Amino acid sequence: MILDTYHILIVLCVVTIISYIFNIISDRMKVPSVILLIVCGMILKVVGDQYQMNFLVPRTVLELLGVIGLIMIVLEGALDLKITPDKKKLIIRSLLSAVSVLFITTIAIADILHFAFEIPFKQALPYAVAMGVISSAIAIPSVNNLSADKREFIIYESTFSDILGIMLFNYVISDKLLSLNTGLVFVWNLVLISLISIICTVLVLVLLKYLKGHIKVFLILSILILVYSLSKQWHLPSLFFILVFGLVLNNTEPFLKGWITGFLDPRKLNSVNRELKGMTAELAFLIRTFFFLLFGYSIDLSLIISVPVLITGSIIILVILLIRYVFLRYISKTNVFPELFIAPRGLITVILFYSIPIELMSDKFNEGVLSFVILISGLIMMLGILFSKQKFKVENELQAY
C-alpha cells in the first residue's frame, strides 16, 4: 500500500490527536503519556505484522527526533525554574544525586553486562552509561502534579543526569580511558562549555533588543540548536548550554539594573520568555509524540520476552532502585517517596545507545535489555506517582478530621 500526501497528513494528525488524548488520560490517571505512546507503537507493530503492513524506522529519524526533543524538553524544564538563594541546597542536593547515582549505577550495570553476556568491561561501559542516565524527557513531563520542591528536584536531577551522562559517555568511549590526558580533556571540556554557554547566552539576550517584528522564537531556537550541534561536533556536553540559557532567560530580574539595562530590553526579554515557553512546550509535545511512538514501533517484542533479557533486565532494575534508595535515604537524607521511583530511562538512553562507536559495540549484547529497562523503569515511575497521589490523598483526609 502506497501512501499519498493526504494519507500521510491524516496519519500525522490522528497520531497528534491521540497523543493529546493520552495527555488528558495521563493527567487523570497519572499514567505517563510516553508509556502510552510506546505501548501504542508496540500495538501498531503487532497489527502491522498481522496484516503485513510494516515499514522500517530509520535510526537517523529516531536520533534526529530524539536530539531535538531532548533540547526542547530540557529548555522547557529550565524555563520553569526560578533560582533564588533559598534553592541553593536543592540544586546542590540534586547535583550530588545525579553525579553519585549515575557513576555508581554505571559501574554496577557494566559489571552485570560483563558477567551476563561476557562482554569486556570497556565495551560494557557505553551500554551501562546509556542505561544509567535518568531520562529528563520522561521524568520532567510526568511530575507536573507533584509538590513544587519535589518537582524542582526531579527537573534539576534529571537534567543534570542527562548532561553528566553525555560527558561520562564521551569519556568512556575515548581511546585511553584512565589516562591523565583523557581526564584533563574531560575537565577542559567542562570549562569550555561553561564559557561558551555564558558568552552565547549573553549575545543572544543582547540580540533580542535589536530584533524587530514578531518572528523571534524560531530564530532563537535555530541559534540554540546550531550552538548545541556545533558543540556536539567538538564532543562537548552541549546540553549544558541549553540549561544555562533557559535558566538565565527565566531569571533575568536580578541583573536588570543600572547600566545593564542599556544592553538588554526587559520588556522584550519578558515577552520572548513567555513566547518561548509556549512554543517550546508545543514543540516538545509534538516531537515527544512521534519519537516514543516510533520507538515503541521499533521494539522487537521477541527479544524482550527471552529468559536472559528478563533476568538481566530485572537485576539491572533492582540495582538501579537499590543504589538510588541508599543515596536518598542515607547520604542525601531526603525524601525517598516517590523520588525513589522517578528514575526512568528513555530518550537519552536511546540517543547514547545509537552513538556507541562501531569498535565498542558488542554482538553479545542483547538490545532487548535496553528496551526492557526503558519500559519497566517507566512503569515503576507510573506506579510510584500513582501510589504517591493516593498517599497524599489519605494524609489530607486524615488532616481534615
Task: State yes or no: pLDDT of 282 exceeds 50.
Answer: yes
Domain limits, the chain = 5-400
- In this structure, what are the phi and psi dihedrals at residue 179, rounded to the nearest 5 degrees? -80, 155
User: Is 188:234 a contact under the CB 8 Å cutoff?
Assistant: no
Tell me what pLDDT residue 262 has: 66
Least confident of 20-34, 121-135, 174-188: 174-188
User: What is the pLDDT at residue 400?
Assistant: 42
Q: Are 351 and 63 in contact (CB under 8 A)?
A: yes
Whether this prediction's pTM lies above 0.95 is answered by no
Which of 340-352 are b and which e, b meaning 16 or more Cβ less than 10 Å from the residue's Cβ?
Answer: bbbbbbbbbbbbb
Q: Which pairs count as long-range contacts for 217-221, CB under 8 Å and 24+ apart, including other chains?
A: 217/272, 217/275, 217/276, 217/279, 218/279, 220/272, 220/276, 221/276, 221/279, 221/280, 221/283
Spell out the residues 6+ positions from residue 34 whose beta carbon is closer than 8 angstroms to its own: 137, 138, 141, 142, 288, 292, 346, 378
Contacts of 387 (CB under 8 A, 6+ apart): 337, 338
What CA–CA distance (Å, rounded) separates 293 from 45?
Answer: 10
Confirm if 173 and 126 have CB atoms less than 8 A apart: yes
Instruction: Give residue for cell 523503569.
Output: 377
What 8-state DSSP symbol labels residue 355?
T
* Angstrom distance (rounded) from CA 9 to CA 11: 5
Rounded to whole angstroms, the Cα distance separating 234 from 188 reads 12
CA 378 to mean position of chain CA atoms: 12
Residue 270 pLDDT greater than 60, yes or no: yes
Do you know the residue count of the chain? 401
Model confidence at 394, in pLDDT bands (50, 70, 90)?
very low
Q: What is the mean pLDDT of residues 181-186?
A: 71
> Mind listing the pLDDT tens digit for each residue in 338-377?
888 888 998 888 888 888 888 888 888 888 899 899 989 9
**Residues 247, 66: Cα–Cα separation, whole Å:** 22
Helices 148-172, 88-117: crossing angle, 10 deg rounding: 50
Mean pLDDT (whole number) for 311-315: 94
**Domain 5-400 listed as CATH 1.20.1530.20:** yes
* Rg (the chain; Cα; Å): 22
Query: How does pLDDT run across 215-267, given as a tens digit for each residue?
Result: 678 888 899 999 989 988 887 778 788 888 888 888 877 666 666 666 777 77
